[in-house]
Structure 1
Amino acid sequence: MSGFSLAELDAAAALVYPHMQASPLLRWPLLEQRLGFEAWVKHENHNPTGAFKVRGGLVYLQRLKQRLPDCPGVVTATRGNHGQSIALAARMVGMRAVIVVPEGNSESKNRAMQALGCELVVHGRDFDVSVEHSQHLERAEGLHRIPSFHEDLVCGVASYALEMFRAGPVLDRVYVPIGLGSGVCGVLSARDALGLDTEVVGVVSSEATCYQQSLAEGECVATATADTLADGMAVRVPNPDALAMMRSGISRIVDVNDDQVLAAMAHYFEDTHNTAEGAGAAALAAAISEQADNRGRRVGLVLTGGNVDASLFARALSA
């Protein structure tokens, strides 16, 4: 998968905006006092499903409906935000959606997906095992399987990056959380299509470093576990197409631990009164870890989502 032209990204964005508005790009005085540098927060937690993924689902399902008007339904695996995106978009186009989640998945995300009308299947110890089961259901029930990384998903989520780069001043650096990679690849695609020099820094959990290791090794490296409270980053097996895009344009990948993530969740609430899930707070956590180097820079922070269970959020606020 190569980069996309600005015309291609704008065409995908045109499928998004009939169903949602552009998300806010804001500076917060208290947050900047804490950080000591200029910070622009891209609030994807304000989207209809509470996360950036909704953009990709809207593009993917509308294009699928055009290509396969008689498709009997779709199946996908998720930790939650991708699943909500697919469930919402499938309902809009009148298509059955089967969503596979791992055991112990976020209860609030499970309920949100079911409320959008999907059939929820709980299977597997982690996300990557759920992916394998979604492949089984694809064959057994004749469903179209939606991967967590695909060019239509990347083009869709790139719309938030177009908004970020067009609405604000030129950013020196942007921190982007990495799960399976559609978000950071969307940012890279938008940056390159607009001809900008903004540095893009990926962020992973210290307990789920497959992309960090893969970038260092120059090839896909899977990890044995991905045991992090930041479920949106809990990926063990990297996608080769995503890695190829990262290798061509990302500056580096930094890792943050669960304690740093919890602290960043609390900082967002204390300084902006916004709720951030673990992955949503990861960019802030990474920017804080590089605080000295960020002074004097104009920094973008992608708050990718706010779908967090109450018990975990309470833990963050009491840490």
Structure 2
Amino acid sequence: MSTALHPTGLPSLADIEAAAEVVYRAFPATPQYQWGLLSERLGTSCWLKHENHTPVGAFKIRGGLTYFDQLARRGELPHEVISATRGNHGQSIGWAARAHGVPCTIVVPHGNSTEKNAAMRCLGVNLIEHGDDFQAAREHAIALAQTRGAHMVPSFHPDLLRGVSTYWWEFLRAVPALDVVYVPIGQGSGACSAIAAKQALGHRVRIVGVVSAHATTYADSLAAGRVVEAPVSTVLADGMACRVADAAALAVLGPGLDHLVQVTDAEVAQAMRALFTDTHNVAEGAGAAALAAALQERSTLRGQTVGLALSGGNVDAGVMAGVLGSA
């Protein structure tokens, strides 16, 4: 299936509102809180959107729900779906596939999060381990889908953006005074959906993309104006561990982002500790990246209302213990 956007561009306000009806059949809108200690740490008013409070602990479930809803509406539910993931996208597709009675196979790289793997299996997913990184797993999933005649669910697609946009739509409506938001970039659905919600609502918020300094394909590609493959060495931010950027996502991110921030694993670990200390919420590496970027730019944020996405909380217990213990 092509990952090109619809001819009309990003999801419209009507698209997002219709997607919200689909999402809310599975769970309610997630909360956003103005945590006092977090605002104090950042030196300005800060709101945190809790996408770690969905049924799979991450924002991705919204996209899976609307992707399958669109397949069903078109009468195109397949006999099997296959996809690739580092964990949260796979849980999203596994959840939605189970709800529609469609068998689901997910490919993950070797050494993937054991707890994310367990969560996917619990949803009835047939889990396959292949390759050393996400790109290798993705390429194997594509080949497997072709061999089996199965439907390959991409990581970036307009029908995924429909659902993911609902969380930014919620956030911008709940806190209309937001001046700037920080959003992590894995394959791009989260940041592109923030841009979609901003445009749909006519909001003035500035959107800052966040990438791992150890996985720079999006930073390099945006700078070059074309897809540039980059090595991945992050050991903490697996949700951002992409080697090859998506061209369709780049087309949205280029004009839609205010700027881009790169965060190191050390900065991500610091942000994970800060979120636990200030809010007693657990964040996975990618889930803490927004705060890591905001802390990096702290001196420029005084007097502004900042929005952060805690995009996921699915971190292995041992990893979290190590992060907390390294303070």
Residue 179 of structure 1 corresponds to which residue in structure 2?
186
Could you say what secondary structure the match of 2:186 adopts?
coil
- Give the letter aligned to residue 70 of structure 2: R
Partner deviation per Cα, 1:55-89 (whole Å, 9 max, x = no partner): 00000012112324551110000000000000000
* 1: CA distance, partners of 2:276 / 2:50: 13
Residue 130 of structure 2 is aligned to residue 123 of structure 1:
yes
Could you say what secondary structure the match of 1:100 adopts?
strand
Q: Could you tell which deviates more after superposition, 236-245 or 212-221?
A: 212-221
Residue 15 of structure 1 corresponds to which residue in structure 2?
22
* 1: CA distance, partners of 2:159 / 2:261: 27
Residue 206 of structure 1 corresponds to which residue in structure 2?
213
* 1: CA distance, partners of 2:257 / 2:307: 15
Residue 40 of structure 2 corresponds to which residue in structure 1?
33
Q: TM-score, normalised by structure 2?
A: 0.96
* 1: CA distance, partners of 2:165 / 2:285: 21
Pick the aligned partner of 1:306 from 291, 305, 313. 313
Could you say what secondary structure the match of 2:116 adopts?
helix
Pick the aligned partner of 1:260 from 254, 259, 267. 267
Residue 297 of structure 2 is aligned to residue 290 of structure 1:
yes
Residue 287 of structure 2 is aligned to residue 280 of structure 1:
yes
- Give the letter aligned to residue 50 of structure 1: G
Partner deviation per Cα, 1:155-189 (whole Å, 9 max, x = no partner): 11000000000011321100000000000000000
Partner deviation per Cα, 1:92-125 (whole Å, 9 max, x = no partner): 0100000000000000000000001110000011
* 1: CA distance, partners of 2:186 / 2:21: 25
* 1: CA distance, partners of 2:113 / 2:10: 33
Q: By how many angstroms is 1:214 displaced? A: 1.1
- Is the CA contact (8 Å cut-off) linking 2:104 and 2:125 kept in structure 1? yes
Q: Could you tell which deviates more after superposition, 215-224 or 261-270?
A: 215-224
- Give the letter aligned to residue 96 of structure 2: A
Output aligned runs, 1:71-90, within 5 Å: 71-90=78-97
* 2: CA distance, partners of 1:52 / 1:275: 15
* 1: CA distance, partners of 2:234 / 2:137: 15
Q: By how many angstroms is 1:239 displaced? A: 0.3
Could you say what secondary structure the match of 1:174 adopts?
strand
- Give the letter aligned to residue 137 of structure 1: L
Q: TM-score, normalised by structure 1?
A: 0.98
* 1: CA distance, partners of 2:82 / 2:147: 11
Q: By how many angstroms is 1:226 displaced? A: 4.3
Residue 64 of structure 1 corresponds to which residue in structure 2?
71
Residue 94 of structure 1 corresponds to which residue in structure 2?
101
Pick the aligned partner of 2:166 from 154, 159, 170. 159
Q: By how many angstroms is 1:3 displaced? A: 2.2
* 2: CA distance, partners of 1:288 / 1:243: 25
* 2: CA distance, partners of 1:68 / 1:103: 35
* 2: CA distance, partners of 1:241 / 1:297: 31
Which 4+ runs in 1 deviate beyond 6 A? Answer: none
Partner deviation per Cα, 1:109-148 (whole Å, 9 max, x = no partner): 0000000111000001100000110011111111100000
- Is the CA contact (8 Å cut-off) linking 2:68 and 2:77 kept in structure 1? no
Gaps of 5+ in 2: none
Could you say what secondary structure the match of 2:106 adopts?
strand
* 1: CA distance, partners of 2:288 / 2:86: 16
* 1: CA distance, partners of 2:177 / 2:161: 22
Q: Could you tell which deviates more after superposition, 100-109 or 68-77?
A: 68-77
Residue 224 of structure 1 corresponds to which residue in structure 2?
231
Could you say what secondary structure the match of 1:98 adopts?
strand
Gaps of 5+ in 1: none
